[in-house]
Structure formats: C-alpha cells, structure tokens
Amino acid sequence: MDRRKFVKSSLTTLVATSFFQKEPFSFFGKNKNFKDLIIGHNSHRYKIDMNWGALNSNFFPVNDCHEMVQDSKGRILLLTNHVKNNIIIYDKSGKLIEVWGTEFPGAHGLTLNVENGEDFLYIADNNRHEIIKTNIHGKVLLQIPFPKDSKKYNTANQYIPTETAITPNGDIYVADGYGLQHILHYNSKGKLQNIFGGRGEGDDFFDNAHGICYDDRDSRNPCLLITARQRNELKRFSLEGKLLEIIPLPGAFICRPVIHGNEVYLATIWSGDGSENTGFISILNKENKLISAPGGSTPIYQNEQLNPMHQTIKIFHHPHDVCVDEEENLYVAQWNSGKTYPIKLIRVS
C-alpha cells in the first residue's frame, strides 16, 4: 500500500467510526474493557444482542412483536400486528429475508406445524376473532371463525383467540385467552370436537388462558400445557381436556409455553405484583421446575415451593414470546416495548 492510499483509507475509517457511534447501542463496543454481560442461571446462561433484527421502521414497521417461530429452513418468523408486514422473515443473524401479510390487524398467536413435509402457519387474530391457517408464503388455506355452534358464545366479539397448538394428527387446539377463556378442540378440517376450560374460580378454569402448546416430552403420555397468566400458573391438561397438574410460578406472568428438547421456555411479560416493564424469561426443566430466569431473580425452591419471582435487571420491557433455534439461542418478541424489534439471547452455557 502506498502512502497516499493509506492516508485515504485511515481517513475513511475515522469517518465510518464516528458515524457508527451515533447509532443506538453502539457504545456497547466503546469501552473495550467492559465484559459481555451474561444473564440467566444454572445450565441456561446467555449473552444479549439488543440489535438483532433491527430494521428501518419506515419500510418494515412493527407495533407489538407478538410471537416468533423457526421454520424448516431455519428461518426466523416474526408476527406483528402491523398490517404493513404482519410476518417478517429473518435469517438467524437477523438479516431480513422477506415480509408478507397485510390482513391481520389483531395478529397475536403464531404456531408452525409441519404437515407431510411442508410448513404451515396458524395465526390467532384478536381483532378478526378467528384462526387463519396459511402456507409459509401466506396463502390462506383455512379459516376457523368464532365457535357459534358451541353455544358458549353469543357474538364473535366474545371470542378473542390468543394461541393455537397442533397435534401430530392435525387436530387444532385454540386458547381463547382474551375472550371467555375456553379451550376449543377442532379436527384438522376445523370442525369442533370438544370444549373445556372457561372462566371460573376452580382449578379447571382459566384467567387469561394466553398460551397453549402440545407437550410430547413424555412420548407415551402427550398432553397440553396451557398458561393461566393472571394466576401465574402453567396447567397440564390431557388431550381430552382433563386437568392433570398445576405448576405454580408465583410472580411470573407467563405468556406461552414453547417446548425445545426437554425444556419449556416462557416469555414472562410482567413479574412481582404485575407492574409495567418488569418482564423476564422463564425456563423450566423436564420436571417443570424453573431452572433459569434471564433478567429475573434467582429461582429458589423452598419445601418444593418456588419463591416469588421478580425482575432484577431492566433488559426486557414486556417479553411476549420466545423462539428457540437449534443452537438453543433465544429470540424474544416484545409487546408494548416502544415498537422495538426482537432481542436475541446467545447461549453460553
């Protein structure tokens, strides 16, 4: 390199550096002596990438980032209730691949199911009061409207589904988490088979049945995990709708259970007394015991009872869902967080 070229390139380096330092969070790198922060407990600890998936909001805006899933190609799908691009598809590094979807004003629940080798999406829409099944490109294949025939509902407005879970035979379970709290069991064609849960005082009932998933960690006894968010409880139900177990998580307002390996991951939107901006992430082991709470207090069991949980570091505002990739890194979508894009947690232990 001759001298003139050298001067030019070092000048541009300077310009570029000062430009970068004006960007949000760029001062993470400014103090080289500071270590990367590690959060979480026991076997599940993470570094944090606050910039993951950040896009130009003039072109690819988000409102609430409600849920995220990973498809068979390893891509990360984000569901937002912004009708300019309800689905935003990223690669794992956070690079934008494509967007679609303009007809889901109440986009809330996103479940991916592989059927005969093909990825399908189930979207629970709060505003449309229905479930919409699409292919991976957004082509609508099935709509399940409010369950008029169940006689549990007078109008569609009473039915505000928040989540779906799909079993291997294609049956669809819907949690009416912002509506009358029923769990609706449909066959793969969308015909109602059973209805259970509902609002009420007893153990069989729900207060904000916000999330549901199919749990086959015990392959001989598959079941459903359903959150009762306002009660800080995760409930285990049989596929027939019989209550099997209640897992209390005091202080943790859990959104939806996500199974990966032997663990259950749950975005925890509020903690403690339920004050605003107090969220963290909950990770349960095979025995459904809380083993790690990134952003939250140390999980401690005394006489088999979990001590009440609370936020300890203000990293998350209102985590609404967690997606786990094959490297066991987490992608955290947030509700009401100032229209921010997801946060990635990189597993270090």
Partner 1 sequence: MKKILLFCFPILIFNCNSASKVASITTENNYAKEHFFQLATPIIKSESILFEEVNRIQLILDLPKTNIHYTLDGSEPTSSSLIFSNEIILKKSNILNARAFHAQHLPSQIVTAEFIKLSKRLSIKNIILNRSPNKNYQGKGSKALVDRKKGTTNFKTNEWLGFAGEDLEVVIEFKEKNYFQKITTSLLSDQNAWIFLPKEIEILISDDGKKFTPVDKKEITPTTENSIAQLYFSTINFEKQEATFVKILIKNISSIPDWHAGKGTSPWLFIDEIIIE
Nearer to partner 1, 37 or 141 (CB): 37
Nearer to partner 1, 25 or 59 (CB): 25
Cβ atoms within 10 Å of 17's Cβ, excluding its own: 10
Spatial distance between the Cα atoms of 52 and 39, rounded to a whole number of angstroms: 17
Shortest CB 165 distance to partner 1, Å: 28
Nearer to partner 1, 9 or 262 (CB): 9
Can residue 315 be called a binding residue for partner 1 (CB under 8 A)?
A: yes
Shortest CB 213 distance to partner 1, Å: 27
The number of residues in the chain equals: 349
Binding segment for partner 1 (CB under 8 A), chosen from 8-16, 75-83, 102-110, 282-290, is 8-16
Residue appearing with tokens 């080289």: 32
Q: Which of 49, 64, 163, 176 binds partner 1 (CB under 8 A)?
A: 49
Q: Which of 21, 72, 277, 305 binds partner 1 (CB under 8 A)?
A: 277
Can residue 302 be called a binding residue for partner 1 (CB under 8 A)?
A: no
Task: Provide long-range contacts, Cβ within 8 A and 24+ apart, for 135-143.
Answer: 136/71, 137/100, 138/87, 138/100, 138/101, 142/189, 142/190, 143/190
Q: Distances in Å between the alpha carbon of 280 and those of 4, 35, 71, 243?
A: 53, 21, 25, 27
Shortest CB 12 distance to partner 1, Å: 4
| 98 contact partners, CB below 8 Å, separation of at least 6 | 89
Shortest CB 307 distance to partner 1, Å: 8
Cβ atoms within 10 Å of 324's Cβ, excluding its own: 21
Closest by CA position to 288, among listed 325, 328, 233:
233
Nearer to partner 1, 273 or 304 (CB): 273
* Chain residues in the site for partner 1 (CB under 8 A): 8-9, 12-13, 15-17, 20, 25, 28-29, 31, 34-37, 47-51, 93, 272-278, 297-298, 300, 307, 310-315, 346
